[in-house]
Structure 1
Amino acid sequence: MKPTIMTAAILATALILGAQSADAHSKKEETQPADGAVLDMSPSAVAMRFDMPMRVTLISLTDQDGTAHDLTRTDNMQPVSEFSATPPVLPTGQYTVEWRGLAADGHPMQGAFSFEISN
């Protein structure tokens, strides 16, 4: 192989291996309510379970009009594998939970899930 082809092959291999190791970062495994759930009543908690401890640095709950609803959290911003926050009693509507955090390995993570309350 010529040096330029060899260099390209090494770089390609490094990129593939790097992408595979990125999968080792913490990830959200479960939410409560489940993403896309349709509920009969307001949930008692908004929760997430991670495969590794996560420091949730931001969590927000908004409705279909973009109105924010406060969440009461008890994790004291400490890394947890199970995060839970208490919402107020929510009226009928569609809601989105957005979150950001730092995984145990220091990588920033973020995500969102949604649910609906119907009568």
Structure 2
Amino acid sequence: MRTFKTTIVASVFSTGLLLSALAQAHPKLLSSTPAEGTEGAAPGTIELHFSENLVTQFSGAKLVMTEMPGMAHAPMPMKAKVSGASDPKTMLITPASPLPAGTYKVEWRAVSSDTHPITGNVTFKVK
């Protein structure tokens, strides 16, 4: 009988720890396209891949040009559409027009089912 009670207590404790860990989970940025710090051609779409499904109505991003050859003042917001993808863990940022040469920062906000917003940014250069 004592073993049975010990097993039940251990099971309840383990379940509590698991649920606690799940409740504290937050989306993490796993990767982006273009990748952080890379330089290349202007992307038609910027992809952010997260560790959890996003709640799209509370998640979002801004695209900002931070440097441009001959640019005296920065940063400059760029028009872009932000949307979800067929994969609920992916956020898409589609610039309204082709990006000219310069340095860009995507400032993102991700919210998953735990409803806690996580923010971050990704920087890349366009040749």
TM-score between the two structures when normalised by the length of structure 1: 0.70
**TM-fit CA distance, 1:86:** 1.1
Larger radius of gyration: 2
Pick from 104, 107, 121 the counterpart of residue 98 of structure 1: 107
Which structure 2 residue ranges, 5 or more long, are not aligned? 1-16, 67-73
How many residue pairs align between the two structures? 97
Q: Which residue of 1 aligns with 2:44?
A: 44
Identity rate, percent: 27
- CA separation in 1, counterparts of 2:120 and 2:24? 15
SS at match of 2:26: coil
Q: 1:82 to 1:98 in 2, by over 3 A?
A: same
- Higher strand residue share: 1
Q: For 1:46, give the aligned amino acid.
A: I
Runs of 4+ in 1 over 6 A off after TM superposition: none
**TM-fit CA distance, 1:74:** 3.5
SS at match of 2:115: coil
Q: Is the CA contact 1:37–1:116 (under 8 Å) kept in the aligned structure 2? A: yes
Q: For 2:88, give the aligned amino acid.
A: V
Q: 1:107 to 1:74 in 2, by over 3 A?
A: closer
Q: Is the CA contact 1:26–1:104 (under 8 Å) kept in the aligned structure 2? A: no
TM-score between the two structures when normalised by the length of structure 2: 0.66
Which structure 1 residue ranges, 5 or more long, are not aligned? 1-16
Pick from 90, 94, 98 the counterpart of residue 86 of structure 1: 94
